[in-house]
Amino acid sequence: MSSNGDGRKAGMVTGAQALWKALEVEGVRQVFGYPGGAILPVYDALRHSRIHHVLARHEQAATHMADGFARASGQVGVAVATSGPGATNMVTGIATAMLDSSPIVCITGQVHSKLIGSNAFQEVNITAVSKPITKRNFLVTDPTEVEPTIHEAFHVARSGRPGPVLVDIAKDAQAGKCMWQGLEASSQRSARRANGLPSNGDLRQALDLISQAERPLILAGHGIILSGAMRETRALAERAHIPVALTLLGLGAFPASHYLHLGMMGMHGEPWVNTAIQEADLVIALGMRFDDRVTGDPRQFAPLAKKIHVEIDPTEVNKNVKVDLPLLGDLREVLSALLPGVEPARHNEWLDYIHQIRESAGANDIQNLPEDGHLYAAHVIRDLWRETEGNAVVVTDVGQHQMWEAQYYKHEQPRSLVTSGGFGTMGFALPAAIGAKSARPDQEVWAVVGDGGLQMSTSELMTIVQENLKINIAVINNGHLGMVRQWQEMFFDKNYSYTPIMGPDFARLAEVYGVPGMTVAERGGVVPAIRAARECSGPMLIDFRVEKHDCVYPIVPAGAHLKQMIRRPAQLKQEAVESFDALMKGSKLRA
């Protein structure tokens, strides 16, 4: 064998060997998967690789693991499956990654190239199936195509707005021989300048809008984390004295303890946050896509404000909300170009106004929850935040507990919340927590799951045991599909059609898998249980039996605008309502 000069030896390899070697060149150290007939040559060649393989119990879970790995680390996650049902089982995980811009590469086996199109055993046209939910996909039928295709897949997954890529490899392309080319890895940030930088005229216009604004507001989205623009965002907020509201996936992009931090916006955002959006005269949207859960009725979103939208994906500009000034490009690079021209400013009256609204509406604090002997989910989340001092990576499933986590766990660091936002995938948390812990083995990881979502992925408890991962699991168990039940209560005349859901004794079930389990049904048991889980050397599951009919507040009904939120009825005294209404009517800041 000869060497190409960088340590990667040239020579004949199989397509399967080329696959693993190319993944190693890309820096991959572990993958998540499930073997099957059409991918067997790849699994056979794995014995020659240094890459660690995590055996999932379901291909969808393997895809969520790769997704959790990517979100927690910022690197590309990799999932592997066989053809047919193995590939189609990945579809939900791929769509989850697509809507949340998570960079993953899914590798699937395919039947022999001569059998493609013949309805062979376990054949499906997965490239056609996955086309709408991937950035790009590839069908590889020749072993010489494997190495360059893997590098191209990583390039696409990382570049611009990140997302999932699928590589479907025919069985004969895996088994056939080819010459190893020793191609270089794709660059980590190779194409984040795909749109260049905004013109000097656009930057000047943005600076003018910022300097003229009296009621400015930053809307901080997931793109801040993807771009690594946390420092630049904080510099903009502090220099121009602009408060910051965050999307669900943006939580952690701006420190929760910062004096300019307002909290989460949107359907379950707090009253002072949503009111500030509707009262602002300038909103600066950073790396967010104006999702319907953020805007409510988009026609009435921030009606008084000029809108600057900094976004790397041009298809998101003016898609949901019309903006006055789009600034296309990588967020960190755009802010770096903008910051030198931002003049120091003070907006004390605007911040005092928001603070008054917050005081009148009742801050979202644990003291506002009733201490009536019942155990509420918010008790669990806030105690978890206090005990971990906000330093854990929290991976949530989807539903009420997801929103309570967003409200009551205060995130100081990026990539400390891993959750399915755009697709809202139940069953996501447990496998995604495996991926997150695999990516950051020294980090404390908690999976916060509902009793409904957990029953979709319980089998992955065995994966946790098999991999000897220290993952703690907090089950927010209210015996219902909680968010669906809440909507039935509020909008469907309390017709609780198939939302009560039976579940096992989760603590005992966990013990069957080899995970110690506890059950907590009283307020006083929460902190001791959390401490016991943290002190345990291995994983632990805690089944928190919480109030069954609790609701997430505030809530903006679908189709309503942000000021039409329904607030916490038990916590908002009549005098606070009257004070809030009087403040709104008499404010000098109202247009």
The pLDDT of 421-438, averaged and rounded, is 98
For the cut 80, the answer to whether the pLDDT of residue 418 exceeds it is yes
- The residues, ordered by sequence, that sit 6+ positions from 125 with a Cβ below 8 Å of its Cβ are none
- Would you tell me how many other CB atoms lie within 10 Å of the CB of residue 184? 11
Query: Which region among 21-25, 407-411, 531-535, 575-579 has the lowest average model confidence (pLDDT)?
Result: 575-579
Q: What are phi and psi of 85, to 5 degrees?
A: -65, -30
Q: What average pLDDT does this structure show over 447-471?
A: 98
Weakest mean pLDDT among 107-116, 197-206, 563-572: 563-572
Q: Is the pLDDT of residue 271 over 70?
A: yes
List, for residues 389-398, the tens digit of each pLDDT value.
Answer: 999 999 999 9
Write the DSSP symbol of residue 123: -
Q: Identify the CATH number of the domain defined by range 11-180.
A: 3.40.50.970
Give the tens place of pLDDT for each residue, 68-88.
999 999 999 999 999 999 999
What's the Cα-to-Cα distance from 70 to each of 96, 158, 241, 553, 572, rounded to whole Å? 12, 10, 33, 31, 40
Q: In sequence order, which residues have a C-beta less than 8 Å from that of residue 102 and are 6 or more positions away?
A: 67, 70, 71, 77, 96, 162, 163, 164
CB 425 within 8 Å of CB 419? no
| For the chain, percent of residues with pLDDT exceeding 90 | 88
Q: Is the pLDDT of residue 112 over 70?
A: yes
Whole-number pLDDT of residue 189: 43
pLDDT given at position 575: 38
Cα 11 from Cα 246, distance rounded (Å): 52
Minimum mean pLDDT range among 146-155, 203-212, 420-429, 577-586? 577-586
- For the cut 60, the answer to whether the pLDDT of residue 1 exceeds it is no
Helices and strands, counts by H and E, the chain:
24, 20
Mean pLDDT of the chain: 92
Q: Which residues are catalytic?
A: 59, 121-122, 171, 483
Of the options 3.40.50.970, 3.40.50.1220, 3.30.230.10, 2.40.30.10, the CATH number for the domain spanning 200-361: 3.40.50.1220
11-180 matches 200-361 in fold? yes
Does residue 554 have a cis bond before it (omega within 30 degrees)?
yes
327, β-bridge pairs = 310
Please state, in angstroms and rounded to a whole number, the distance separating the CA atoms of residues 573 and 189.
52
Q: Which of helix, strand or coil describes residue 255?
A: coil
pLDDT level of residue 374 (50, 70, 90 thresholds): confident
d(CA 562, CA 557) in angstroms, rounded, equals 9
User: Nearest Cα to 26, choosing from 176, 183, 136?
Assistant: 183
264 CB-near residues (< 8 Å, 6+ apart): 245, 246, 247, 248, 251, 270, 273, 406, 407
Burial of 87 by CB count in 10 Å (0-12 exposed, 13-18 middle, 19+ buried)? buried
pLDDT in tens, 137-165: 999 999 999 999 999 999 999 999 999 99
What is the second-level CATH architecture of the domain 366-545?
3-Layer(aba) Sandwich (3.40)
Parse the chain into domains and list their residue ranges.
11-180, 200-361, 366-545
Determine how many CB atoms are found less than 10 A away from the CB of residue 492. 12
Q: What is the pLDDT of residues 320-360, one digit of tens each?
A: 999 999 999 999 999 999 999 999 999 999 999 999 988 87
